């Protein structure tokens, strides 16, 4: 039996255990019929399941023993599993962490999403450039899903709307005709840690209503006979690979409606099992929208209640708004979803009518409260005027929900004061709240970093801390204990060796595991400023070159690691990847400098690579222009694993700083309130670059890192410098120098690392989920017996 067969055999055995717990959970929930929480997300970035399931079910030692008895080692084949990569980045991974917490905290919750046939593309680096390959992750079947051919719903597109008058003389509408496809459910059991509760992520796959058009086939139209079938299957074939940038493609809108339509039918079927009046729907059902992507669910529920269940508009709207709540993940204008009115009209004619009505009634209320303010009406309207008109999904989501939340304190404040300021005035501030993100300590510490997890468990005398992360603070008492510091830093070193082995295997480069590991891994985006980081690396390289051999000895050696994907159509982001790889080529082949500086780009960043990368870092960079990164969640994972942050005063960095203390985080850069002023200033005078930056740019232009002509468009971004690289470059370099000074003091560093990690209790996704349950969903845990 080869490793893959061993993996499959083990996976199918674990799957059986999952299904047992999952069945008892569903049965128990059916009998108690508590309020359910539904987390609607176009993305679930789960990663691998085997190790996580073994740990959460608490059967890993048993399996290890059983496998040893038959001559196998789990470590040898656990990496055979392919990632479930049905997400872009932070938003999709947050959904996955939330499912782990919902299960662990015993909530009767469901995740709903799409079972993409192709997940996020695979990235290869060819000649320094990103190239994309399809992620067909289902080649060898998938032990972690249960196909539910018994759970299917029809989804309709296009067609026409018919008007009639009901018995009471009220105008009513029906949506008729159209193109019908079928949604088939695939269930993914999600086990809680240390509980029997095992919840479900239900992902929909599209298939044709008729497998095959025989009429066409018999007439010899072979192509036509499969056309309809292909079109139906296309809906769920591929995840759109854009993060924080919208592309208004029809297929994407189809995905969104397909998914919410099937989901609502499923939710309503469950609600109708008990004979309750519709007015009790919001007491039984809470629906959380993960960004605006599932916002059509608001319109679809209104349509079902009014058109199919014959409720009055107002009764229906009251139910809808009490049911939904919406999480905003960005204030960047280019990321806010807008769909053109003609597009929606064509695909979903009845929904477009309902959106216009929602808008009309809403604007009437605004007009009542703020009479004669035309500009306010224009700003607040769901419809952006123009040719064509657009539907602003964030407005629709906010109007159709009872709560809107941002994902970190600063971000929620920006949500209140920028994109939704008029809405705060209209609804009052209570509707707009904050729930700071979190990450699951089960995957991101216990699973990814077993050495550190064991050390903590030893010190705390048990694993209770994994269900109550605030208990980590007890570790602070040992922050200056020499023996504990030694054990702590030994785990870090082991993780650096593990990463070095991975780098050796994949890239053939041997890195110095005694060096400071400096990591920036995240989606490539101008606002995240990987460009500033690589410019800083060039500066460091050229400074090292100018030093004598003796002087170099005094410098802290760095291994700088980048990883991350660029959206395939994002030209500038792809150029940044090319620049990183060109610079790596120069530095790594310079034997004078390699002992002091190495530069690695790890291809195809994924959840599984993050699990190796994060535990190995000494410093990680979270250096977005202030006010642009809503939260960040990898920042939390790094600190939880004993890494320190070099970061800007942005997103959740700020709250991490509050918890760990100023001496345990390296902050630099412009603050949010100054960003706009500086942009304004920069517009009115031609920008002179920070001198050290200027030098680096010249060096690139002198072809020191390959033919500079290809980098012209990238360098040109520094002329307007929207993301303030030049402004922040000096403070960034200075801050990096402070890191080096701190790193030289080994005991001092260990103290920082321990204290920071021990301060991370707040950033468990368990805390986030408890806040949602209490302040937004009004949902209670149910202990499965
Ligand atoms: C994906 C698709 C579209 Cl159309 C738009 C955005 C995305 C996406 O991936 N967004 C995303 O990942 N946002 C991130 O969400 C995280 C979780 O809240 C935040 O931590 C992070 O700051 C934010 O950028």
- Catalytic residue (one of 115, 202, 254, 329): 329
pLDDT of residue 217: 67
The model's confidence at residue 664, banded by pLDDT at 50, 70 and 90, is: very high
Spatial contact of 641 and 758, defined as CB atoms under 8 Å apart: no
With vertex at residue 492, the alpha carbon angle to CA 103 and CA 459, rounded to the nearest 5 degrees, is: 60
pLDDT of residue 220: 75
Annotated catalytic residue 522: yes
Residue nearest to atom 8 of ligand 1 (CA): 243
pLDDT of residue 221: 76
Residues 6+ apart with CB under 8 A from 59: 14, 17
With vertex at residue 534, the alpha carbon angle to CA 533 and CA 537, rounded to the nearest 5 degrees, is: 95
631 ligand 1 Cβ < 6 A? yes
Q: What is the mean pLDDT of residues 441-454?
A: 98
447 ligand 1 Cβ < 6 A? no
Q: What percent of the chain has pLDDT over 70?
A: 99
- Catalytic residue (one of 29, 293, 492, 523): 523
Q: Does residue 210 carry a pLDDT above 90?
A: no
Distance 91 CA to ligand 1 centre (A): 4
Closest CA to 304 of 418, 206, 121, 175: 175
**Whether complex ipTM tops 0.95:** yes
120 ligand 1 Cβ < 6 A? no
Query: Between the CA of residue 111 and those of 186, 290, 313, what are the distances in Å?
Result: 12, 11, 28
CATH code, residues 465-763: 3.40.50.2000
Distance 245 CA to ligand 1 centre (A): 9
192/467 Cα distance (integer angstroms)? 10
Spatial contact of 205 and 186, defined as CB atoms under 8 Å apart: yes
Residue keyed to tokens 């608001």: 298
**What tokens were used for 753?**
């690392």
Q: What is the mean pLDDT of residues 483-488?
A: 98
Tally of CB atoms within 10 A around 331: 19
Spatial contact of 91 and 755, defined as CB atoms under 8 Å apart: no
| 324-327 and 403-406 strand pairing | parallel
Q: What is the mean pLDDT of residues 579-586?
A: 99
- Distance of alpha carbon 324 from the chain centroid: 21
Q: What is the mean pLDDT of residues 81-100?
A: 98
Residue nearest to atom 15 of ligand 1 (CA): 91
Q: What is the mean pLDDT of residues 618-629?
A: 99
pLDDT of residue 258: 98
Spatial contact of 89 and 522, defined as CB atoms under 8 Å apart: yes
518/96 Cα distance (integer angstroms)? 26
Weakest mean pLDDT among 6-20, 178-192, 386-400, 683-697: 683-697
410 ligand 1 Cβ < 6 A? no
634 ligand 1 Cβ < 6 A? no
pLDDT of residue 685: 78
Q: Which residues of 192-209 are buried (b: 16+ CB within 10 A; e: fewer)?
A: bbbbbbbbbbbbbbbbbe
| 619-622 and 516-521 strand pairing | parallel
pLDDT of residue 683: 85
What confidence tens digit (pLDDT) does each residue in 3-31 have?
Answer: 999 999 999 999 999 999 999 999 999 99
373/370 Cα distance (integer angstroms)? 6
Annotated catalytic residue 276: no
Residues 6+ apart with CB under 8 A from 283: 35
Annotated catalytic residue 727: no
Weakest mean pLDDT among 69-73, 78-82, 179-183, 684-688: 684-688
pLDDT of residue 212: 60
Closest CA to 338 of 234, 237, 245, 243: 245
pLDDT of residue 77: 98
- Distance of alpha carbon 221 from the chain centroid: 44
Distance 699 CA to ligand 1 centre (A): 35
Annotated catalytic residue 633: yes
Q: What is the mean pLDDT of residues 321-325?
A: 99
β-sheet bridge partners, residue 66: none
As a dihedral over the C-alpha atoms of residue 201, residue 122, residue 628, residue 405, rounded to 10 degrees, the angle is -10
Annotated catalytic residue 329: yes
Q: Does residue 214 carry a pLDDT above 90?
A: no
| 432-434 and 597-602 strand pairing | unpaired
358/380 Cα distance (integer angstroms)? 13
pLDDT of residue 262: 99
Residue keyed to tokens 């991975």: 502
The class of domain 33-48+83-437+769-777 in CATH terms is: alpha beta
Closest CA to 355 of 344, 368, 370, 366: 344
Atom of ligand 1 nearest to the CA of 629: 22
Q: Does residue 211 carry a pLDDT above 80?
A: no
pLDDT of residue 229: 86
pLDDT of residue 247: 82
**Strand extents, DSSP E, 192-272:** 198-208
Spatial contact of 326 and 398, defined as CB atoms under 8 Å apart: yes
With vertex at residue 7, the alpha carbon angle to CA 5 and CA 10, rounded to the nearest 5 degrees, is: 110
Question: What is the 3-state composition of the chain as percent helix, strand, coil, each rounded to the nearest 5?
Answer: 55, 20, 30
Distance 701 CA to ligand 1 centre (A): 34
89 ligand 1 Cβ < 6 A? yes
- CATH 3.40.50.2000 maps onto the chain at 33-48+83-437+769-777, 465-763
Q: Does residue 153 carry a pLDDT above 90?
A: yes
401 cis-preceded (ω within 30 degrees of 0): no
Tell me the pLDDT of the chain averaged across its residues.
97
Weakest mean pLDDT among 34-48, 434-448, 508-522, 672-686: 672-686
pLDDT of residue 213: 65
Closest CA to 500 of 600, 352, 380, 370: 600
pLDDT of residue 552: 97
Closest CA to 258 of 282, 292, 234, 290: 234
401 ligand 1 Cβ < 6 A? no
Annotated catalytic residue 637: yes
Spatial contact of 176 and 276, defined as CB atoms under 8 Å apart: no
């Amino acid at each position: 039996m080869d490793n893959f067969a061993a993996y499959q055999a083990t996976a199918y055995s674990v799957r059986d255990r999952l299904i047992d717990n999952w069945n008892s959970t569903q049965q128990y929930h059916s009998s108690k019929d508590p309020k359910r929480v539904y987390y609607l997300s176009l993305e679930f970035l789960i990663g691998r399941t085997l190790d996580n399931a073994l740990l959460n079910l608490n059967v890993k030692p048993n399996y290890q023993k059983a496998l040893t008895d038959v001559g196998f080692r789990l470590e040898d084949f656990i990496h055979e599993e392919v990632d479930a990569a049905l997400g872009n980045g932070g938003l999709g991974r947050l959904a996955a962490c939330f499912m782990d917490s919902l299960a662990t905290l015993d909530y009767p919750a469901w995740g709903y999403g799409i079972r993409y046939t192709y997940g996020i593309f695979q990235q290869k680096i060819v000649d320094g450039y990103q190239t994309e390959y399809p992620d067909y992750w289902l080649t060898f079947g998938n032990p972690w899903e249960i196909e539910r051919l018994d759970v299917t719903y029809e989804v309709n597109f296009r067609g026409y709307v018919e008007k009639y008058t009901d018995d009471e003389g009220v105008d009513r509408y029906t949506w008729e005709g159209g193109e019908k496809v079928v949604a088939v459910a695939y269930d993914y059991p999600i086990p809680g840690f240390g509980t029997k509760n095992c919840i479900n992520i239900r992902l929909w796959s599209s298939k044709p209503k008729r497998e095959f058009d025989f009429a066409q086939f018999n007439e010899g139209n072979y192509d036509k006979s499969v056309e309809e079938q292909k079109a139906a299957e296309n809906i769920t074939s591929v995840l759109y690979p854009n993060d924080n940038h919208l592309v208004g493609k029809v297929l994407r809108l189809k995905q969104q409606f397909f998914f919410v339509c099937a989901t609502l039918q499923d939710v309503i079927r469950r609600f109708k099992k008990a004979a309750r009046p519709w007015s009790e729907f919001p007491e039984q059902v809470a629906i959380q929208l993960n960004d605006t992507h599932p916002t059509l669910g608001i319109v679809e529920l209104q349509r079902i209640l009014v058109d199919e269940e014959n409720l009055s508009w107002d009764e229906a709207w009251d139910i809808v708004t009490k049911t939904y709540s919406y999480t905003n993940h960005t204030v960047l204008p280019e990321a806010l979803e807008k769909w053109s009115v003609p597009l929606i009209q064509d695909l979903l004619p009845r929904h477009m009518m309902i959106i216009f009505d929602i808008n009309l009634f809403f604007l009437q209320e605004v007009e009542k409260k703020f009479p004669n303010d035309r500009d306010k009406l224009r700003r607040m309207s769901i419809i952006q005027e123009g040719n064509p008109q657009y539907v602003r999904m964030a407005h629709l989501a906010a109007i159709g929900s009872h709560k809107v939340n941002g994902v970190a304190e600063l971000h929620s404040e920006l949500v209140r004061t920028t994109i939704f300021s008029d809405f705060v005035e209209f609804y009052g501030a209570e509707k707009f709240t904050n729930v700071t993100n979190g990450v699951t300590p089960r995957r991101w510490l216990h699973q990814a970093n077993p050495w550190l997890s064991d050390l903590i468990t030893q010190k705390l005398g048990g694993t209770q801390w994994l269900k109550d992360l605030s208990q980590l603070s007890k570790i602070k008492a040992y922050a200056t204990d020499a023996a504990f510091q030694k054990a702590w830093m030994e785990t870090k070193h082991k993780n650096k060796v593990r990463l070095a082995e991975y780098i050796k295997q994949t890239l053939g480069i041997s890195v110095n595991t005694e060096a400071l590991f400096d990591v920036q891994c995240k989606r490539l985006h101008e606002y995240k400023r990987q460009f500033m980081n690589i410019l800083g690396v060039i500066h460091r390289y050229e400074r090292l070159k100018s030093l004598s051999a003796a002087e170099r000895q005094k410098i802290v050696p760095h291994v700088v690691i980048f990883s991350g994907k660029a959206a395939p159509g994002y030209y500038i982001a792809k150029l940044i990847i090319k620049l990183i790889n060109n610079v790596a080529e120069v530095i790594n082949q310079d034997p004078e400098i390699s002992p002091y500086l190495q530069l690695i780009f790890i291809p195809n960043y994924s959840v599984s690579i993050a699990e190796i990368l994060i535990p190995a870092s000494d410093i990680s960079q979270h250096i977005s222009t202030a006010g642009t990164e809503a939260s960040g969640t990898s920042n939390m994972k790094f600190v939880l694993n004993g890494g320190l942050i070099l970061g800007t005063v942005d997103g959740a960095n700020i709250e991490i700083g509050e918890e760990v203390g100023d001496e345990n985080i390296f902050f630099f850069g412009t603050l949010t309130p100054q960003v706009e002023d500086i942009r304004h200033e920069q517009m009115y005078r031609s920008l002179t670059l920070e001198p050290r930056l200027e030098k680096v740019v010249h060096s690139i232009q002198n072809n020191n890192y390959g033919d500079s002509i290809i980098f012209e468009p990238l360098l040109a971004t520094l002329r307007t410098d929207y993301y303030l690289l030049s402004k922040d470059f000096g403070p960034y370099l200075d801050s990096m120098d402070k890191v080096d000074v701190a790193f030289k003091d080994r005991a001092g560093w260990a103290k920082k690392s321990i204290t920071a990690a021990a301060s991370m209790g707040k950033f468990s996704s368990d805390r986030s989920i408890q806040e949602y349950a209490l302040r937004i969903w009004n949902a209670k845990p149910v202990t499965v017996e």
